[in-house]
A and B are shown apart, each in its own frame.
Chain A
Amino acid sequence: MMAQLVFYIFTAVLLFSACMVITARNPVHSVLFLILTFFNASGLFLVAGAEFLAMLLVIVYVGAVAVLFLFVVMMLDVDFGQLREGFQKYAPLGGCVGGILFAELVLAFSHWEMAPSRAAPIAAPELTNTAALGGLIYTHYVLLFQACGLVLLVAMIGAITLTLREKATGRRQNITRQHARTRADTLEMLELDLGESVADRGGFLRPKSSYNEIAVPGSFGLVPETPTNEVASNKEKGA
């Protein structure tokens, strides 16, 4: 009875927040509702007795994926209004297709049958969930596990090749030069009387050396000094 009650509460909140994810106007709210959805799903896992999956869902999806989503939503300049532009136009058609598909699936699911050979429930093994999953993932399905690792490697290669620009556009420092600078090279300390400004002393004092001295050649719009230097610095990076 209690378990059923908890199940329905989790399910209701889950469905509600899942709907809110796609209807919320503010994308940040969407992500927050997504996190709520994940929490409720993990609650459902707990009700089903799958405590390891529940924790995994919270750690991986809430801890990493949802935070990543938040980063993307906040840091990228995505015009969500523009994204929604075609929504009104295509909503009826999409709704029709979705409705038909949903009706078909309801038909399919309403008489769910399992294969006669498999209808018997599987006996519970004498292991904790975590140990059983570990045995399955790392021993039984080791080939698939390694193949999944390769999928992630390919994703990493892709992220780097598609986004890494060889032409540097940001300000970058030559760290060695920056470390070699002392305070005396860059700063001039002045004792000023109360109410007196630097302008009164004859104008703004520029730092003795500018940022440009320690900037990496080619960054921040600077012309590379000489081609030989560029190659040398690349070799340093390679080593």
Chain B
Amino acid sequence: MGVSSFNWAIALPEIALALAGVVILAGVVLQPKGEGFLPATVLSGAALLGCMVLVLVAPQGHGYAGTFVNDGFARFMKILVLAGALVAVVLGASYRTREQRTLPFEAPVLILFSTLGAMIMASSANLMTLFVGLELSSLSIYILCALERDNVLSSEAGLKYFILGSLASGLLLYGISLVYGFAGTMEYTGLIEAVRSAAIPPMGLVVGIVFVLVGLSFKLSVVPFHMWTPDVYQGAPTPVTAYMAGAPKFAAFALFLRVMAGPFGAVAPRWQILIETVSVLSMVYGAFAAIPQTNIKRLMAYSSIGHMGYALMGLAAASMAGLQATLVYLSAYLIMNAGTFGCIAAMRRNGREVNGIADLAGLGKTDPGMALALAIFMFSMVGAPPLAGFFGKFLVFAAAWQAGLYPLVAVGAAASIVGAYYYLRIVKVMYFDAPDQALDRPAPGLLLVSGGMGLATVLFIAVLGPILSFAHQAAIALVG
């Protein structure tokens, strides 16, 4: 194996991001105590932005001896992941106020490394790349969750996520080893060939695929692998929750789509029913379990479980249209999720963070701008036209309908209606409840995030064409 045939340049964005992370870390450690956060944030943000440009110009193709691939799909996912991370870094900068200096300067650097792991996941062409990327991404998030050391909930979140995450990694690794035992290779190209060559997929391979599916489902937090989600979302610092609900989910989805549509695509009938089950359970559970919640971060956790269920519907359809629909759904989810967390991070009273839904009472009178933005996001999450969420949901339902998954569509529609109750309850609390004491004026960065994302949610229809064609190219790259 010659080193010259490595096609080094295809991992240019990843290499640049890794170097940037190490340099930022080394530079900021030398700063006087307590003064490193702002430079680290600015530099990390700049690195993520620069990386986004690199992703667009990096050459495509296979490389690194079959461990790495850069195609239209990877590019789409990387842009999503980087955008999610950038929003989280901006949120982190504005979240840290004079009263609440809980986040250390490592936070943006860890977000950067986690993003790097997510990008490696999106570009994996080998089960080992998948695992290493996943571990890099997850390990950073475990630490990010526990960063507020003096907060019991934060430590609990970190520990819980770490222990359950390790278990899921173990399951994933075991599944990979079973698949390797069958195919004798871990490269996706070899796996495709091996899986196709078996007339009847043997039991060992199927068990391996199921284990891989379980491990990835855990990272996606879909039912029945969702137990950690509410506690971790609630306990983690808000910018970290915003990050967790975005970038790593996209990366896990990238893996899901790449692995299931690629190597295991030939045995789709074997796993399709599992995806359908998981999708139905997630949609229903996400809708019903969110109803009694009083904490908005917990509510968002259940909401994300439900949304992942809807997005999985596109995968369950196992068609080109389904993949495209899932990608559009994820783009819409990125926008409305980031905006919602921008609003949540802005919820402060007398300098202290508040997270109760009741704390939003009367926001329509005390802060009409933020109330409007939050209302837009909630309507978008419900799927009301012409907001971003509508198009995602519509395309996913259409793809599932075309694939003949009528029960799935029916359950999805029913879960949507139940979900509308708790999303619209927030709107009701904001506009019709008696105003409580007003919230503090949000930091400019948070206004930027929630305002920008609000605008993007409303104007999603204007960019729908380009996103659709981008998603179409990505789906073609995946299925070929």
A residues in contact (CB < 8 Å) with B: 104-105, 107-109, 111-118, 122, 135, 139-144, 146-148, 150-151, 153-155, 157-158, 161-162, 166, 231, 234-235, 238
Are B132 and A154 touching (Cβ within 8 A)?
no
- Residue among A122, A150, A231 making CB contact with B113, cutoff 8 Å: A150
Interface of A is mostly: helix
Are B197 and A105 touching (Cβ within 8 A)?
no
Q: Shortest beta-carbon distance, A110 to chain B, in Å?
A: 8
Given contacts A118-B190, A154-B110, 18 further A-B contacts (CB under 8 A): A109-B204, A116-B198, A118-B185, A122-B184, A142-B6, A143-B68, A144-B128, A147-B120, A147-B133, A150-B21, A151-B132, A151-B135, A154-B140, A157-B25, A158-B139, A161-B147, A234-B32, A234-B33
B residues in contact (CB < 8 Å) with A: 1, 3, 6, 11, 18, 21-22, 25, 30-33, 64-65, 67-68, 104, 106, 109-110, 113, 116-117, 120, 128-129, 132-133, 135-136, 139-140, 142-143, 146-147, 149, 158, 178, 181-185, 190, 193-195, 197-198, 202-207
Q: Shortest beta-carbon distance, A107 to chain B, in Å?
A: 7
Q: Shortest beta-carbon distance, A238 to chain B, in Å?
A: 6
**Chain A residues within 8 Å of B128, by CB:** 141, 144
Q: Given that A157-B110, A161-B104 are contacting pairs, would A115 and B11 also be in contact in the complex, using a CB cutoff of 8 Å?
A: no
- Residue among A113, A141, A148, A154 making CB contact with B182, cutoff 8 Å: A113
Are B136 and A158 touching (Cβ within 8 A)?
no
Residue in A closest to B18 when the chains form the complex, CB atoms: A150
Q: Which of A109, A122, A144 has the most CB of B within 10 A?
A: A144
Q: Given that A157-B109, A238-B30 are contacting pairs, would A114 and B67 also be in contact in the complex, using a CB cutoff of 8 Å?
A: no
**Chain B residues within 8 Å of A139, by CB:** 1, 3
Cα–Cα distance between A111 and B135 once the two chains are bound (Å): 32
Are A140 and B65 touching (Cβ within 8 A)?
yes
Cα–Cα distance between A157 and B143 once the two chains are bound (Å): 9
Are B1 and A144 touching (Cβ within 8 A)?
no
Q: Given that A139-B3, A166-B33 are contacting pairs, would A157 and B106 also be in contact in the complex, using a CB cutoff of 8 Å?
A: yes
Are B202 and A112 touching (Cβ within 8 A)?
yes
Cα–Cα distance between A201 and B40 once the two chains are bound (Å): 64
Residue in A closest to B113 when the chains form the complex, CB atoms: A154
**Could you list 23 examples of A-B contacts with CB < 8 Å?**
A105-B207, A108-B203, A108-B207, A113-B182, A114-B183, A122-B184, A135-B1, A140-B1, A140-B65, A143-B11, A143-B64, A143-B68, A144-B129, A147-B136, A150-B116, A151-B135, A153-B22, A157-B110, A158-B143, A161-B147, A162-B147, A235-B32, A238-B32
Cα–Cα distance between A148 and B139 once the two chains are bound (Å): 12
Q: Shortest beta-carbon distance, A42 to chain B, in Å?
A: 20
Are A115 and B132 touching (Cβ within 8 A)?
no
